[in-house]
Structures are given as structure tokens and as C-alpha cells.
Amino acid sequence: MCDTLVVVRPDCVLFAKNSDRPPSEAQILDWHAASEHPPGSMVSVTHLRIPQVRRTHAVLLSRPSWMWGAEMATNEHGVTIGNEAVFSRYAVPKEGLTGMDLLRLAVERADTAERAVSVILDLIGEFGQGGSCDLHRPSLRYFSSFLVADRHRAFVLETAGPHHAIEEVRGARSISNGLTIPDFAFRHRDLVKTWASRCRVRRARTERRAEIAFDLEDLARALRDHGPVSEQTGSIDYHPLLGGMTGPCMHAGGFAVDSQTTASWIARLAPTSDLHFVTATSAPCTGLFKPVSVHLPLPNTLLGTPKHGRADSTSLFWRHERFQRTVMRNPARFFPLFEAQRNEKERAWFASPPASPEAFQEAHGLLDQWTHLVEQDLHSQPDVVAAAAYPLWTRLFWKLQNRKDHLLCVGE
């Protein structure tokens, strides 16, 4: 489950996406320089081998660690794409290109948003769309919708079985886990799965926020929205089966669907220069947006190599995961310990971005500092978790999830 929004303005295009995946699925940043490929070259995507093109552009990807394709990505020409799982009336083939494969192939091969849409459609026509989209649940397959942007324009591309629809964006637009182009959605959507994804609730919120978004700070605020609050707890409205799916900042906590925001990306695309900021961690509500560049790969020492479903003490993803899982046990108490400093730091970086290595190095220090503050507070008053905003089923979900991930949080 995911949410993507865009704002097309005369001077720039604003883009933002939350990628929602299983909570133990680390998502990594991945850089690839522009390359020339010999005639007859092949490329191995997630489930297939297909012919390679003669030249691929420089790209920056945010992708699940086990997957070739990407959840969101940009290239040297400013083409920036986010994709969504959508649910239609058609069976998804067991073999084909995943939506994430199509996204990566499009940013590698297209230098405008319009050409990226054509690349995706040509690839679907030749190889089909399909294949498993979950490492541990091979039966999870879906078609995709895409929000495709560059420095001047943006398009919504929706697919369902052999059908597709395209809409050029005018002003603000968002997409989620349901078909949204009206006539196309009416003819092809799966009503039950679309309802269960809670996409209509989330999309209504992201579209409203997109309509008033003016800068990167507004985009970050949109992605941090937890949705309608629970009347009982005053916090995230967790459903016993679906978890916290009613806000774009999604938190797992249900026993049928375990989706959680595992990476976030915001961008300002402009003819003069592009600005990209990523969390490179889960949960933007506890994360810190840091500047990245398509032309400047980060040293691995600043990111680590997170494993899928197995916590470590060194990678940025899992170090932050320990922090956010502790904070979310009682957000009303723990957020004030770091939120104001985090927002102030982002405000300064949005106005004048430092070099990416410098920002990530500082972010490591801030994460250590905030983790210490939260854990120190928890040690001093261990009963604060007893008053947490988690309902009983969500507490049980996270107890089991932490055990599965070999992640020990303070106070457990």
C-alpha cells in the first residue's frame, strides 16, 4: 500500500511518495551511473530477463532490498516516478514485469515524463505485467498505477489487466491503492479489495494537502499525516485486521494486512535544479528527510547493508527501526522529545541543502541523541508504555513482529 502526490506549478513540479511494504522489509537507496550497453545485452529484472537498451540514464532508486525494481526513483533528467498497487477485476499473471520493474526501466530509459509513460506501456505490451511482489508471499501479485513527473509536467498512468488510462495532471493530484481516473475506475476496479486498502480515505487526505502544498515542508507534512484519530485513544485508528491504514504515514498493527511506510521521498523538480530528500528509513513521522543527489552516491558506511527481516545494530534502516518502534508505543509522550529539533533541522536543510554525506553523518548523530532521550525517559518511568495508545491487538502484533525480526526494544 502506498500514496503518491504531485503539484504542477509554472515554476516547478512538487513530488512526494510514501512506500508502504511489510515492516521488516528494508528499503535501500541504490545509485547507477549512465551506461552504454553492447548490442544484444540482456538485463535481469525481478522475475525475467529482457533485452537491454543501448544507453541507460543515471538513476537514484529507493527499492526493497530483495527486488530489482524500485518503489520510487529519479534520473539525471528529472524524471521522477512513484507507483501504487491497484486492485482490478482481472487476474494478475504469475510471470511478467512487476510495477517496480516498470518504474525502474522507465527512469533508466526515458528523459521526459511523457516518454516514461510510453516506455511503461511498450514494455507491458511486449512482456506483460505480473509476478510476485512479496518475497515471503509469492501469491501477492498486482497491477500498478504510476505518477510520472518531470520538471514541467506530470501524468497519472493506471493499468488493469490489458487496459490502461492516462491523465495529464493540472495542478494538484494524488494516487493511492485504487484506480482513480473516473470512467476507467468504474469499469475495472475490484470494489472489495479497493475498500479494504483504505485508499479512498488516504487519497482524500493527500489530495487536500497537495492542493495547499507550496514547498518541501508542506510535502513532508502531508506524508506524516496519520489520518483520522481513534475516539478511544486519540491516536492512530488501528483496525484489528488492517492496522493503521487510514493515513498516508502508515503503521502496521493488524493481523490481515501488515503494511507500513518503509521509505519516503519528496522532491522539487525545476528547470534550474532538482532537490530530492529521502528518509531512507521507515515512518516519516519519526524519520528525518535528508538531501540526496542522483549524481552523488553515498558511502556504504552511512547507510549500511540492512538485511530483510533481520535487525542489525549498524545499518541506518534498522537503527531507526528500533527508535521508531519504541516511540510509537507512546507517541504522545515521546514525540515532544525530538520533533521540534527534527523539524527545525529539516527547515534549514530545505532552505540550504548541505552535501548528502554531511547531512547523513549529522543525521546519524541526531538519531543516536533522540534514541538516548527516548530510552532514558522510558527507563525513568517504565510505566509510560502501559498508558500507550496501542490497542491490545496492536501491542500483540508488535511483540510478535519484534521477536520475528530479532529486534529488542527497551522496556520489552
* Whole-angstrom distance, CA of residue 248 vs CA of residue 227: 7
* Whole-angstrom distance, CA of residue 58 vs CA of residue 298: 15
Strands ordered across the beta sheet of 163-168: 27-32, 59-64, 72-75, 80-86, 143-149, 154-160, 163-168
Active site residue ranges:
2
- Per the DSSP assignment, residues forming a β-bridge with 159 are 164
| Tens-digit pLDDT profile for residues 47-70 | 999 999 999 999 999 999 999 999
Sorted by where each starts, the structural domains of the chain and their CATH numbers stand as 2-297 (3.60.60.10)
Please enumerate, as own/partner, the contacts of 255-258 that have beta carbons within 8 Å and a separation of 24 or more: 255/393, 255/397, 257/1, 257/196, 258/22, 258/23, 258/397, 258/401
| Tens-digit pLDDT profile for residues 111-162 | 999 999 999 999 999 999 999 998 888 888 999 999 999 999 999 999 999 9
| Tens-digit pLDDT profile for residues 65-118 | 999 999 999 999 999 999 999 999 999 999 999 999 999 999 999 999 999 999
7, 210 contact by CB (below 8 A) = yes
**Cα dihedral 97, 103, 109, 110 in deg (nearest 10):** 130
- Per the DSSP assignment, residues forming a β-bridge with 80 are 74, 149
How big is the CA angle at 69 (ends 89 and 149), to the nearest 5 degrees?
A: 80
- According to DSSP, residue 330 is labeled S
Q: Is the pLDDT of residue 234 over 70?
A: no
pTM: 0.96
Which residue has cell 485508499? 199
**Cα dihedral 275, 36, 121, 7 in deg (nearest 10):** 10
145, 158 contact by CB (below 8 A) = yes
H-run or E-run covering 49: strand 49-51
Q: How confident is the model at residue 327 (pLDDT cuts 50, 70, 90)?
A: very high
174, 146 contact by CB (below 8 A) = no
Q: How is residue 18 written as a grid cell?
A: 510514501
Q: How confident is the model at residue 392 (pLDDT cuts 50, 70, 90)?
A: confident
